[in-house]
Amino acid sequence: RVFPLTGFSDPVYVELCVTSHTFDVALDFSLTNKTTTPMTGVLLELSTVGDLRIVERPQEVSIAGGETVSMHVNVKVSSTRTAAVYGSVVFHQEVDGEEANESQ
């Protein structure tokens, strides 16, 4: 099942597909640059609450205007108690010759 995490009018549109296998959860993110200008330093920052552990953090990427990239994150589950994953997308974009830092 696919979950939209941002709105269509946001500069970066993010969708998530979650797959679980016993004590492993696979998070497959799709990030789309909805603008016509390239974004550099795009980083998906994630944190967990509860008995979850992020195995490896996503790497910083660049996304051309209108392009979509995928990011895969594995999460280990150590108990079946309630837990949550929180995140934000941070990126740099040049606007009128000046670099702007944004967070979503």
Alpha helices by DSSP H, the chain? none
Q: Is 78 exposed, middle or buried (0-12, 13-18, 19+ CB in 10 A)?
A: exposed
Q: What is the pLDDT at residue 81?
A: 80
30: confidence class by pLDDT, cuts 50, 70, 90: very high
d(CA 46, CA 49): 10
- pLDDT interval class at 94 (50, 70, 90): confident
Q: Give yes or no for residue 22 having a pLDDT over 90.
A: no
Q: Mean of the pLDDT values across residues 80-102?
A: 78
Give residue 23's pLDDT.
87
Yes or no: say if 16 and 2 are a contact pair by the CB < 8 Å rule. Answer: yes
Average pLDDT for 66-93: 91
DSSP symbol at 11: S
Tell me the one-letter amino acid at 59. Q
User: Whole-angstrom Cα distance, residue 48 to residue 31?
Assistant: 20
Q: What average pLDDT does the structure give for the chain?
A: 89
